[in-house]
Structure 1
């Protein structure tokens, strides 16, 4: 209702509008509208099974395409979800960024507000009279599974979404996650997951969605990264404003690399050898190393004309009797991807033979911190060479060894060692705590076949991730259960002269615990 001014009536405190309201009776009618029930802002739906999500079509209008959304949810989330709170008139900053720059300029009318769905377990109920969420233990956050924004665009309506991997059917075992804050009805909730959304189709494509997902994860996970909205990413991909049509025509991997550069990251573009194809094993070993390091990857599948974000993996069941040196990639069963055509955490097989497999990835971009100078391909070349040096500490035979390597921080490595202090000789533990690591380090783990099956490690090398590619020995530490080599990196040029040996006491265990700290293990519900 449009109005221009408000003035008091003769009756005292009552006011009337200049436009058409000129007596007390009109005012009374107007006031009664607001003394009655307020407009609908929230709606609670109870579920016996996820199949009952079809009810969404009864409560959400067609421009949000609730029927398709309900179908995707019922197929993709577990029956642990027992309640959905529909939040109407939600202002979503990502949709607004495209609305003001694109949809508001179109001849067809588009709403400016969104709908947000919130997912809860069976312990949570909605008190409609008080607009409150109620659960017996008052720990609402423990019973919250995340949210999904629906855009009023008719097609590709799933917007910013963060779901717990625990409720995703078929999600991989280890997933890269961050804590995302949610404000709802005066509650401050936190959901741990990886962000996803559908591409807008008419202004952005799958590559934009993958870039957005990765950058939103970084902004939530690391304070040094700012938040980027969808429309900003469509602009960042080009040297000039591409307008409304150009982004929807596609995005090259070079454009995606530019997005990460503009966002202040330091991207590395790694492409598979065109001659060897899926037999380019170093390519895939680098891929899994970066994912295990907690870095989501922008992955290109040129044969599918598609791009996704790689965000996790799952090990296969241990296989015995394989001879020869093996790597972590050889033990991968599936990869987890965020694909704008699906709900997040799609699990795809490693090997080909299916239309959608990890081996379809033929290039990827990893957005690294500034302080990582020693890349995965250098570690891949160094790791087998360490067997020569490993004679001094008693590495297992090469034919019975599985090599795994990943990036972590020096502080995280110390924290892990402190948690497992009983596994370390006190002298070794003292060196782990006092060596002047750089902020980022590579950890290389060597396991026998039997140890791998039990999540154990025979030996570890700690490599300086800030080292130069020309360094012959970029190590801080190399140890097994019986011996250790300590490297002095305080003086440039020292190699053998800066290396000290350390005999370790037999602690009496079958190997060190494998270090799985960068990704969140899924707990199926």
Structure 2
């Protein structure tokens, strides 16, 4: 194994280092065009990062995902494919060529770590598994709020972790854009939650085998039904939404606000494509002014989930975290062939015990807010899903709640997930504050459109009401609650 250390800028400028990396890839077609293509792909990826980052290159790297593809497919071919990869690790300038790799410096090196990129020995599809911290991106990329998992890695024998969303390019034979989408979502959930596990490409093929009506290799891509089936096979209770749904964009935003990555199906005039939506741009709350109000049950209200336009996508044809709009999901291609791309379906990998889906939760909470709480017109409504654990932590850390009030909130019976609707007057919303609150049971019944069968708690200003399990009906809380408190913002960061 060989090591190379430099900054990104120096790396790109020093042609001999790049050539040494390509030499160590042992490309199946080691000609001028292939080498140039690989160098350009690596440069394109690195040009999305801050150029003062330090990179450490390791050759002869054994990548688990590529090895799985290698033994499933590439090792069966007549021409000999190389089975090792090259890995590039990224660090802030605090780690550089002068930093001694010693026990005393381990914590310094860990704190400087910003992710890794695996380069596969496949000329046309060299960009392999990678996880990059959003903070490593350069100024061309806006601030982003995304789903993040802490992904383990190693470098120079040191155990590292990077917070980001997994990404890879497709290899064109074993993994198309659809399989890559499924793999990255499962890699994210498998590293973030103990209920799930990361899977290999061969596991995805095995899961889809019962549904295949023709050969699976080389891959011809997947339909949205097959994407959903592959995720469902790994324990998710998937929901599929189609473009014809009148709440299509509102639901898309609602799930992103809930911190759930979405498998997104895009259709152009000529072909289909699959990507992962991992979050949205950092958005000033004044965006509700440009979106305007919406008519709900005869009244005019601001709706946060209808106001967001800019999202972050992981596309296997591009480096991670591409920002674009919902209406033009492929605008970053800057190509006539892709200009017609539009989102036709998206698949939500829900926890299997979330029986109340986003559409029903929004309808129920809107009814309760307007008919039960009688919120004034021009209020701002924001609905999202939160885990019991994360929401309780938010309550404990909320600076606007007294200890007595926190005790009341924490004693509300909640399932593993709850649907939360925050309601604010406009001025309070712009200051990240909440006036009214509705909590719905995500395991609740979906047969009551008015929401009472799923209602856990509601609050208007300082008056709160909860569902008493002993009496099996609602009971007022004999305590004044905070009439204005900090909003929840912990799902995406």
Q: Same fold (TM over 0.5)?
A: yes
3-state SS of 2:281 partner: strand
Asked whether 1:409 is paired with 2:387, we answer: yes
Asked whether 1:363 is paired with 2:365, we answer: no
3-state SS of 1:76 partner: coil
What is the distance in 2 between the residues matched to 1:201 and 1:208?
A: 10
Asked whether 1:299 is paired with 2:264, we answer: yes
What is the distance in 2 between the residues matched to 1:272 and 1:367?
A: 18
Q: Which of 473, 482, 499 is the matching residue for 2:474?
A: 499
Question: How far off is 1:74 after superposition?
Answer: 3.5
> What's the CA shift string for 1:398-446, capped at 9, x where partnerless?
3x122111111222222111111x4235554222111221111111111
Asked whether 1:515 is paired with 2:488, we answer: yes
- The root-mean-square deviation of aligned C-alpha atoms, in Å, is 2.8
Matching of residues 103-502 of structure 1 within 5 Å: 103-126=74-97, 132=101, 138-169=107-138, 170-239=141-210, 246-273=217-244, 281-303=246-268, 305-317=272-284, 318-319=286-287, 320=289, 322-323=292-293, 324-352=300-328, 355=331, 360-391=342-373, 395=375, 397-398=376-377, 400-420=378-398, 422-424=399-401, 427-471=404-448, 472-473=451-452, 474-490=454-470, 494=472, 498-502=473-477
Distance change (3 Å), C-alpha of 1:109 and 1:47: same
Question: How far off is 1:232 after superposition?
Answer: 2.1
What is the distance in 2 between the residues matched to 1:418 and 1:53?
A: 52
Question: How far off is 1:502 after superposition?
Answer: 3.5
What is the distance in 2 between the residues matched to 1:282 and 1:358?
A: 22
Q: Is the 8 A contact 1:372 1:465 kept in 2?
A: yes
What is the distance in 2 between the residues matched to 1:196 and 1:158?
A: 9
What is the distance in 1 between the residues matched to 2:14 and 2:103?
A: 21
Distance change (3 Å), C-alpha of 1:56 and 1:134: farther
Distance change (3 Å), C-alpha of 1:344 and 1:150: same
Which residue number in structure 1 is paired with residue 31 of structure 2?
none
Distance change (3 Å), C-alpha of 1:84 and 1:315: closer
Question: How far off is 1:215 after superposition?
Answer: 0.4
Question: How far off is 1:358 after superposition?
Answer: 12
Q: Is the 8 A contact 2:258 2:491 kept in 1?
A: yes
What is the distance in 1 between the residues matched to 2:410 and 2:148?
A: 27
> What's the CA shift string for 1:431-467, capped at 9, x where partnerless?
2111221111111111222223222222111111110
Which residue number in structure 2 is paired with residue 3 of structure 1?
none
Distance change (3 Å), C-alpha of 1:353 and 1:266: closer
What is the distance in 1 between the residues matched to 2:341 and 2:255?
A: 16
Question: How far off is 1:359 after superposition?
Answer: 8.7
Q: Which runs of 5+ in 2 are unaligned?
A: 28-34, 294-299, 333-338
What is the distance in 1 between the residues matched to 2:10 and 2:303?
A: 41
Distance change (3 Å), C-alpha of 1:360 and 1:458: farther
Distance change (3 Å), C-alpha of 1:134 and 1:146: farther
Which residue number in structure 1 is paired with residue 68 of structure 2?
97
Question: What is the total number of aligned residue pairs between the two structures?
Answer: 460
Matching of residues 67-106 of structure 1 within 5 Å: 67-81=39-53, 83-106=54-77
Which residue number in structure 1 is paired with residue 335 of structure 2?
none
Q: Is the 8 A contact 2:8 2:46 kept in 1?
A: no
Question: How far off is 1:157 after superposition?
Answer: 0.8
Q: Is the 8 A contact 2:65 2:129 kept in 1?
A: yes
Larger Rg: 1 or 2? 1
Q: Which runs of 5+ in 1 are unaligned?
A: 1-39, 274-279, 521-525
Question: How far off is 1:126 after superposition?
Answer: 4.1
Distance change (3 Å), C-alpha of 1:242 and 1:119: farther
Q: Is the 8 A contact 2:463 2:481 kept in 1?
A: no
Which residue number in structure 1 is paired with residue 2 of structure 2?
41
3-state SS of 1:341 partner: coil
3-state SS of 1:423 partner: coil
Distance change (3 Å), C-alpha of 1:53 and 1:250: farther
3-state SS of 1:325 partner: strand
Q: Is the 8 A contact 1:401 1:449 kept in 2?
A: yes
Distance change (3 Å), C-alpha of 1:114 and 1:447: same
What is the distance in 2 between the residues matched to 1:242 and 1:148?
A: 35
Q: TM-score, normalised by structure 1?
A: 0.80
Q: TM-score, normalised by structure 2?
A: 0.85
